[in-house]
Chain A
């Protein structure tokens, strides 16, 4: 998922203003349109959801199959209008003051926790999502959403080191090269996400990503300030571009992002450091106030279909929790060590849970690091 600032953001912005100001007017024009141009015909096309055939999907950039939305329209008659966000924070900030009209959103695991806590999600009706049977059982009972009441997994992902093979002396199999060593001075780029950075430093220090204390933060902050002169940039999750363009030789990034550019450049590889790393999972949710909840259920069900899931996975190359879709993929995907790292490494990786107390501390400490 490429989290560069999407231009489409402006579209979503405009719509959100229109929605909040002109909800009444929009409602009237919808009613008019429905009675005017043959409501019956449309109702027939909907195939049971009983809602107008529209859906607003709020997704990451480069995070859907090339034909998925068109295929879904062919299957159900529902028009999907996709807008893009670049970070979970942007998603949260946009929905915080009320849903501007989105039906399906794709928050990561810790934001699912956060949005459930803030009462921003609608419980999913599993009887309308029969394709839940395709999901790998390992992804059903998860700590951040027990029993999958609010979210269904779309992808999972893992932070690690993307690097240029010809420019490193040895495989960078430890976080040390990024966090605690001048070896690759001026040739490394780190993530500008404060929470992820502190948790991964914690991993390097042999702690659990969920077991950090305020004292640990002080230690880590000092380490970050010491390492800062060796860092070329804190990137906005566009690390794969920096690596591909030769700007840096080592970059902290998600495995799927690096897998995407490895198809363009043979000299690039990805490694999960031996200390372990942080797992994320992006999930499909329905926000409170969604105008088309039934269409949303139908859409989520469609995305979890084996064939649709395969087409999505072929494009985005992220690890899929959809076992039926994975079974349809070629070995070049299933046996790819970048996409599916070895089991013993994965055992050392953890999901981060949302920590209300530490989050502001991460941010302030990171501001100090950047200002130092």
Chain B
């Protein structure tokens, strides 16, 4: 089965930056959680998820993002989303993600927020 989803990640200033590409659905959500867990197991609790190349997110994808938020809350970690499409930002806001996570315009501002 083809899919357009893929991601890459990089550790920068003690932050795990995950960049997604394509539809964030069940498969995309699983990939993000897998990438997050690898960093989390190595002690990374500052996470940036850049959704610049993901224009569509469904609610299953969002449930995986909530899973990440819950795990980070237990360890007093922080999650910042960046480069959100206005429609996705609105969806995240309604789903309550911004009660526990933040959002920033760019990766740089997100990393800067980690120190606050």
State whether these chains interact. no
Query: What residues of chain B have their CB less than 8 Å away from a CB belonging to chain A?
Result: none
